[in-house]
Amino acid sequence: MPELPFTLDQLRILKAIAAQGSFKKAADLLYVTQPAVSLQIQNLEKQLEITIFDRGGRKALLTEAGRLLLEYCERILNQCDEACKAIEDLNSLKGGTLVIGASQTTGTYLMPRMIGLFRQKYPDVSVQLQVHSTRRTGWSVANGQIDLAIIGGQLPGDLENLLQVIPYATDELALVLPSNHPLSNKKELLKEDLYKLNFVTLDSQSTTRKVVDKLLQDSGLDIQRLKIEMELNSLEAIKNAVQSGLGASFLPVVSIERELAAGTIHKASITDLEVKRELKVITNPSRYTSRASEVFKKNILPKFACLESPLRQL
């Protein structure tokens, strides 16, 4: 290795001697023997071709070259200390950035609360939330742009193997009706009743929409027969449409908590049908897991997992 003319240890010794005014005291301070100090300074002087200390009298005094070197020495060692502190902070979550991915739904209704809790506990870690489609989120996790994500849809097959996919919680996609809708009074609807409704849905590209369609189809319904009043691309818009009496919809329960509490929207049960999807936490096991990501997974996620299903091991 093309050699550096000095080592950090030598600088540390230099600094100690300058501070103590003595080789011996410096040695004591650094818990080494006096010859070790002497030899290192000699090495330093040899390599830099300068004399650093005047060893004449009782005190070891810096020469001009020594003072010059000491100046740099202090700056360098300070930088080293700072680096250590920064790294320590990162380790103890007093710094750094956590990048979280989510779909529209979880990103809008779930993540803000989670991130809020996380930031409350670790206010020095900045958190970035990226809302994308399931597909794109998956790829971002794969190539390390996102540390951790929650998805509600199906990953492309190749990613399924590459990533660690952990079932996290069950998200019910509730059938919601305008509160004044005639069917709101019935305790339980039947699947057949769905054909009588006008639906306001997400556009057909959306993951949630695909999930709903698939579940309905799997349950034996002919989704072609369902009447779709309109397709909107925002859950909020759909909620408003439903509240305005324009139609019914399947919406994630997490997105309508407020409206249910306020009674402005009605959640209907269907006797022989449950529309539920698994929310999954995905991470990339082949990549470095930041401490922040680890903590988020271990300490924050479980606090919100009790949406409907029991906690899952993370």
Partner DNA sequence: GAGTCTCCATAAATTAAAACTATTTAAATA
Partner DNA sequence: TATTTAAATAGTTTTAATTTATGGAGACTC
Q: How far is the CB of 143 from a second copy (least distance, A)?
A: 9
Residues 132, 147, 79, 89: what is their CA dihedral angle, to the nearest 10 degrees? 110
Where are the alpha helices (H) located in 21-156, listed in sequence order?
23-29, 34-48, 64-91, 104-109, 111-121, 134-142
Among the listed residues 82, 157, 95, the one whose alpha carbon sits nearest the alpha carbon of residue 125: 95
Pick from 8, 19, 35, 83 the residue near DNA by CB under 7 A. Answer: 35
Amino acid type, 7: T
The verdict on 19 binding a second copy (CB under 8 A) reads no
Q: Please spell the DSSP secondary structure of 76-97, one letter per residue.
A: HHHHHHHHHHHHHHHHTTSS-E
Pick from 19, 42, 46, 87 the residue near a second copy by CB under 8 A. Answer: 87
Q: How many residues bind DNA (CB under 7 A)?
A: 26
Q: Is 89 exposed, middle or buried (0-12, 13-18, 19+ CB in 10 A)?
A: middle
Pick from 57, 182, 263, 310 the residue near DNA by CB under 7 A. Answer: 57
Residues 6+ apart with CB under 8 A from 106: 150, 151, 152, 171, 254, 279
Contact window for a second copy (CB under 8 A) among 28-36, 111-119, 163-171, 182-190: 28-36
Binding pattern to DNA, positions 277-296, x when CB under 7 A? ---------x----------
Contact window for DNA (CB under 7 A) among 25-33, 66-74, 116-124, 299-307: 25-33
Instruction: State the number of CA atoms in the 13 A half-sphere of 148 facing the CB.
Output: 24
Residues facing 251 on adjacent strands: 174
Query: Are 141 and 101 within 8 A, CB to CB?
Result: yes
Binding pattern to DNA, positions 152-181, x when CB under 7 A? ------------------------------
Query: Are 125 and 89 within 8 A, CB to CB?
Result: no
CA 36, CA 88: separation in Å to the nearest integer? 30
The verdict on 1 binding a second copy (CB under 8 A) reads yes
User: Which residue number, 57 or 263, has a Cβ lying nearer to DNA?
Assistant: 57
Contact window for DNA (CB under 7 A) among 24-32, 88-96, 110-118, 224-232: 24-32
Contact window for DNA (CB under 7 A) among 19-27, 86-94, 108-116, 289-297: 19-27
Q: Which does 190 bind (CB under 5 to 8 A by kind): DNA, a second copy, none?
A: none
CA 8, CA 3: separation in Å to the nearest integer? 13
Pick from 119, 210, 214, 287 the residue near a second copy by CB under 8 A. Answer: 287
Amino acid type, 234: S
Q: How far is the CB of 167 from DNA (least distance, A)?
A: 24
User: Which residue number, 91 or 286, has a Cβ lying nearer to DNA?
Assistant: 286
CA 216, CA 191: separation in Å to the nearest integer? 9
Assign 241 to helix, strand or coil. Answer: helix
The verdict on 32 binding a second copy (CB under 8 A) reads yes
Residues that bind a second copy (CB under 8 A): 1-2, 4-9, 12, 30-32, 48-51, 54, 56, 61, 63-65, 68-69, 72-73, 75-76, 79-80, 82-84, 86-87, 90-91, 95-97, 121, 144, 286-288, 290
Which residues contact DNA (rule: CB under 7 A)?
A: 1, 7, 9, 22-25, 31-36, 38-43, 55-60, 286
